[in-house]
Every structure is written in C-alpha cells, then in structure tokens.
Amino acid sequence: MTLGRTRTLARTLACGVACCLALILIPSPAGAEDTTGPVQTTITGLAPVALGAESSLSLTGAVANTGLDALGSVAVRLAVSSGPIASRRDLRIAATSDSAYTTQPIYTSASPVIDVLSPGAIVNYRLVVDADELPLNEPGVYVMAVDTIGYGPNGYAVLDTERILVPYMPDEVTPVNITWLWPLATTPSQAPDDVLLGEAIPRDLAPRGRLNDLLTAGESSRSITWVVDPQLLEVAADMSDGYLVDRAGKVRAGTRAQAAADWLVRARELLGPARPKDPEQRTRPMWAMPYADPDANALESASLTTDLVRATTSAPLLIESELRRAPGGTLAWAANSRPTQSALDVLASAGVRAVVVRDRAAPVVIDRGYTPSGIVDVEASGGRVRALVIDPGLLKALEMPQSGQASVLAARQRFMAELAYVALEPAVGARYLIAAAPSPRWDTSPRLLRALIASIQSTEWAKIVPVDDVLALPTPDTGRSYRPKPGGGRAFDSDYLARLESIRAGIESLRTVLTDPLPVTGPITSALLRAESSAWRSRPREGKRMLNSIDVSLAATASMVRVVPRENVVLSGDSGSVPVTVTNDLDQPVRVGLVLTAGNSARLAAEPVAAVEIAPGKRASLEVPVRIIGGDPLDVAVQLTDPAGGPFGEPVALELRTTAYSRAALWVAIAAASLLVLLVIFDIVRRSRGRRRSKATA
C-alpha cells in the first residue's frame, strides 16, 4: 500500500469516526422530540418481550423518506422514559399518546443507517442495547422510542420518533393468571330452508377466513378456553354436502362446500376427544354458548323466554353430536356488556354457569391498591352465576389496529405490558384476569394471537389457565359489585320485536294442527332462534332480512293446509249446511276445524265444526250448519281452527244467499192477486144482483 493511499484511508476513517461521534454526542435541539421532517419510522421487531436484569434489547424496523428532499447522515438511537409508568390508566394513555411520557435519548445507542436517504426510499435498521446501559431504576413498564436523526430541510434534527411499551422484569414475581376465552361463532344468516343469506358464513369458513385463522392460531396452546356456538357447527355440517346462497335475491349454488367440510374436520380434531394412542394429549378446554348467541335482554323483555331457554338447553347436545365430546358447561356472552337481572334469572334456570360481561357491569367498589381478579358471583333465581369480567386493558390491546407488522407488535407489547403491570402490583394471593373479545364474532389478526400465545408461554410472570379453574374457585372477595343492566333490555326496535312475537305465535298455531310437529316446525323454529341473535344489534337490515325469510317460509307451510275457495253458496231456506272443502298438502295428517263468521253477526248463526283429521295429500268436505236472517247476500269468512278452537291460517271469503225469502214474497203476491180476483168477482156478482132487483121492481 502506498503512502498516498494510506493517508486517504486514514482521512476516510477519521471522517467516519467524526460523523459517528457527531451522531452520538451532539445533543438534540430544543423541540427535536417532535417530528420536524417528512420521515416515517416503524418498529417491526422487538426481542425479548420484556427485559431482564442481564438481557439485551433488540429493535428492528424501517425508516422511510416520505418527503421531496434527500436526508443526510440518517441514524437511529434509543430513547427511554425517565421512570416506569405510574398507573394502569397512564399505561393506556402512554400507548395512545406520543406526548404522555417524554423520553430521554441514549446517545451511546446511536447507530448510522445510511449516508443519504433519497425521497421515497426505505431503509431497514437494527438497534441492540444491553439492559445495563439503560436508565432502568426499578421494575415496571417503560416507554421506549426509536429516534430517527439526521440532516433534513431544517438542518440537523430528530426527524421522527416511534414509541413502544417494554416491561422491565428483573426479579421473580407471582405469576398473574389469564383465562383467555376464544369464541367460535359466525353471523347466523341462514334461512329456514338452509339457504344462506349472503357470503358472510362461507367467507368465515374459507381457508384464509376468520374462523380458520382462529383454529390455526389456537393450536399452539392447550390452555385457552374455546367457547363454541353450536349454530356454527350445524351450518358447517349443512354446507359440507353442498349449499345454496342468496345473493341480492338470486339463489345460486355455493362454491365453498369443501372448505366448510375441511373446517369442520379441523374443529373436530382440535376440540374433540383425546386420541387413545397419545397418552400425553389432553382435551382442550371447551364450553358451549347458547345456540346462535341469543340476545337475552331483548328476548326476556319481549316475553320470549321460551326461546331463550330452548337456545340454552339445546346447545350442549348439539355440540356433543358434532364434536363427539360434551362441553364443560354453558357460558353466555352478555350482549351490550351486561344482562338484566330478569335475563340472568332465565339464563341461570336454563343451566348457564358463567356469563361474560364488561367491566362496567361489575366495577371495583373497594379499592385495595391493585387490580383485583375479574370474577364476581351473582345471585339469580335459577342459581348462582359467576360473572367473568373482561379486563379493560387487555381488551383495549386486542382492539388496537392490526393492519401491519408494526401495529401487531404494538398491540402485543400493550397486552404484555398490561400483564406485567398487574404482576408487579403488591397484591395478596393469586389473581385471575379475563381476556376476551366484546363479541363472539371477533375478528383479530391471527399474527397477533400467535405472537401473544408465544409471548405468554415464554414468560414466568404470566400463564394461561382454563375457565374451569376459575369456576372452581371459592366465592372470591374481589371488591367488585355486580350491577345488572337497569330497566328493560330492549335492543331491537319495537317493530322487530313485534314480528318475533308474531312469528312465534304462528309457529305455535302450526304446531297445534300437526300430528308430528318437529319435522315441519323444527327448521322454522331454529331459524327464529337465529333471528333472535345478538348479531343483529349492529346489523338491523340483515336481521330484518332473516325475519322476511322466516315469514315467507311459515306462510308457505301454513298454506299447505287450506280451504278451497268457491264463489258463493245458495241455501234453499233460511237454514242449512254450507259445504267447505279443506285440502292437506303436507306429508302428515293434520287436525283442523271450521268456523264461519260475518261482518254483520246478527244475520248469521253458524255452528263451529269440531276438529277432524285429514290424511296427508287428501281433501275433506266439511258441512257447517248455518241460519241466515234476511234475504240480501251475506259475505262471510271461512276460518280454519286448531283443535283448541283458535284460528289457523288465513280466512277465505264466501258469499251466502238464500231463496226462502223469495218464495215467501211469491206466495204473498199470489195471495194478494187471489184476493183481488175475489173482490172483482164479488163486485160483479153484487152489480148483477142489483140490476136484477131493479128489473123486478119495474
């Protein structure tokens, strides 16, 4: 190497060292914590989830130049809050506000990224810092940030800052227990004839659909508690052999039958009984929710408690028939955060052992200085029910944006920060937090779910426990007080509730005339239960579409037992029998009676016909004894009745006439004419005699 080249290399190295020293030692200008340039910094990787006493923090991500000017000497460095977050409320604020907690730069952590970052360019970075280099004075959750620094349009400055929550857990603590409820449910948009109303269900069951993603994400844990809607298993089984779907009024064959069959096989493998050949395998915690997740508050307020009980009591049997394994019990998801006391009484009487509620349903009334367990016992007329209170911090983490890797990482760290904060609280005894979505039809990124399960499994201060463990605990003193929803539980509008009641009355009317009701009314009843789902709270238009499909099906079924219309009936007298033909197009016998009514009831006396049995596919002629007053035509309604005498189906109009008054009028006319003839004859005879007497006198 020549002397010139040596000097050139030395000058180059000196410049590089000088640049690095400038990046490290030059302090940030005043106000540099705010973004002053068109730069976007993201954090896409962070390990470990929480720092220990002798660990290193690794951060990876990217810096993008979104402006029009080139940026020079771009570097990144770590910044840390001066102390841990003071309260759980501040934890929530720190996760959503960039100005809630200021961070102090760690100048020695600065790492050059690129000399010139052109407009539109993106460059990756990686920061690695030992925990002992950070000002972590005590255990807790810290706000950490990646500062992007460099020369921009306004000179040397902090171009952008991206924050994230990182727990610092140097010592052993009592683990916090998490009961994580994973519901499997879908929008129950299936008509009585099994036609799907839209693509919501097939989309959920598709290979990359929401429900498939949930099974994939949950495979790695044997402690999360699955809560299964039997309606989902039922519709997946129905679709497996082929199905029809109604798209904007046009019914066509569905294209995802195999996807539904594959999903059902996966669900059976994951949640079914343990394999005898695998002694180390144990069944996963699995519970039932009432069929189609009924809106308990609305049904109780509309006096449809029979449907609520039916949806609840049938759920375990339906699940066992599909998964070949009985669930651990029945657990209800409270619509609109909490049930009314009356709805809770009905649920308890139907066998519900636990109900999932939001934290405002069971607030903490005795503050002990730490987060209490999320459970409280509630007395109901049907027995004691344990309320599982969703932890609001964990819920907020699950509801954070999850559109990309950076947002998924932020949600993961928020979730783990919540657990770390609770684990560090000076509590007495073990605590149990409830993690769950606000709705059984949750839609969370599978990447986030997998990341959370892996993160919890890698820590010693948090563990997932099944709901059976929580329900087996003695009555806890958590300082919480359950507050049922006050007043009525109406969620649907009055028209929707009125239609539910009308359909229920129609089903009951149909049931009474059938000799074997279940095959006929069963599909309609199941569809009605689906129309009573809490899913329609946020989708009223789709709920009304469900009601329309049930109305059409019920009317079509009831019309298969009907009166054959005719124009009119003429009676020869003021009393007689009206012949009525009734047809039964069902495939089973029915028992119906008849009654005739008129708008002017004073003109008609009709005896009702007691119920008679009509064979399937046959007709029967019935005679209705009547008496008519008056000679004018009379409009009457022919109404079928059930065996108890109640109306069944729609009435048929009929006109009655009688000839009795016409004959009477004829005889009156004849009598009058005869009298007139007699009078004329009498007058002729009288005049003839008068003339004869006159002649005799003359």
Which pLDDT band holds residue 670 (cuts at 50, 70, 90)?
A: low
Which pLDDT band holds residue 423 (cuts at 50, 70, 90)?
A: very high
CA angle, residues 539, 541, 545, in degrees to nearest 5: 115
Beta strand 590-598 pairing with 462-464: unpaired
pLDDT of residue 121: 96
pLDDT over 50 (residue 665): no
Give Cα 594 distance to the centre of its chain. Answer: 44
Query: One-letter amino acid identity for 565?
Result: P
Beta strand 609-614 pairing with 590-598: antiparallel
Radius of gyration for the chain, computed over Cα atoms and rounded to the nearest angstrom? 41
Q: For residue 447, what is the DSSP state?
A: H
Of 175, 150, 176, the residue nearest 161 (C-alpha): 150
Least confident of 33-37, 119-123, 338-342, 603-607: 33-37
pLDDT of residue 529: 97
Q: Which helix (H) or strand (E) holds 83?
A: none
Q: How many CB atoms lie within 10 A of CB 472?
A: 8
Integer Cα distance of 181 and 446 in angstroms: 15
The CATH superfamily assigned to 176-471 is Glycoside hydrolase 38, N terminal domain (3.20.110.10)
Of 56, 48, 52, the residue nearest 171 (C-alpha): 52
State mean pLDDT over 514-540.
95
| Contact status, residue 593 vs residue 640, Cβ threshold 8 Å | yes
pLDDT over 50 (residue 562): yes
Integer Cα distance of 287 and 495 in angstroms: 34
Which pLDDT band holds residue 671 (cuts at 50, 70, 90)?
A: low
| Contact status, residue 334 vs residue 388, Cβ threshold 8 Å | no
Phi, psi of 430 (to 5 degrees): -75, 150
pLDDT of residue 474: 95
Q: How many CB atoms lie within 10 A of CB 214?
A: 22
pLDDT of residue 488: 53
Integer Cα distance of 112 and 74 in angstroms: 6
Task: Give the end-to-end CA distance of the chain in Å, rounded to a whole number.
Answer: 190
Least confident of 18-22, 367-371, 400-404, 688-692: 18-22
Give Cα 223 distance to the centre of its chain. Answer: 24
pLDDT of residue 9: 36
Q: How many CB atoms lie within 10 A of CB 416?
A: 25
pLDDT over 70 (residue 663): no
Least confident of 59-68, 176-185, 597-606, 668-677: 668-677
Domain 562-658 = CATH 1.10.1060.10: no
Beta strand 568-571 pairing with 590-598: unpaired
Domain 3-168 = CATH 3.50.50.60: no
To 10 degrees, what angle do helices 210-218 and 257-271 make?
30
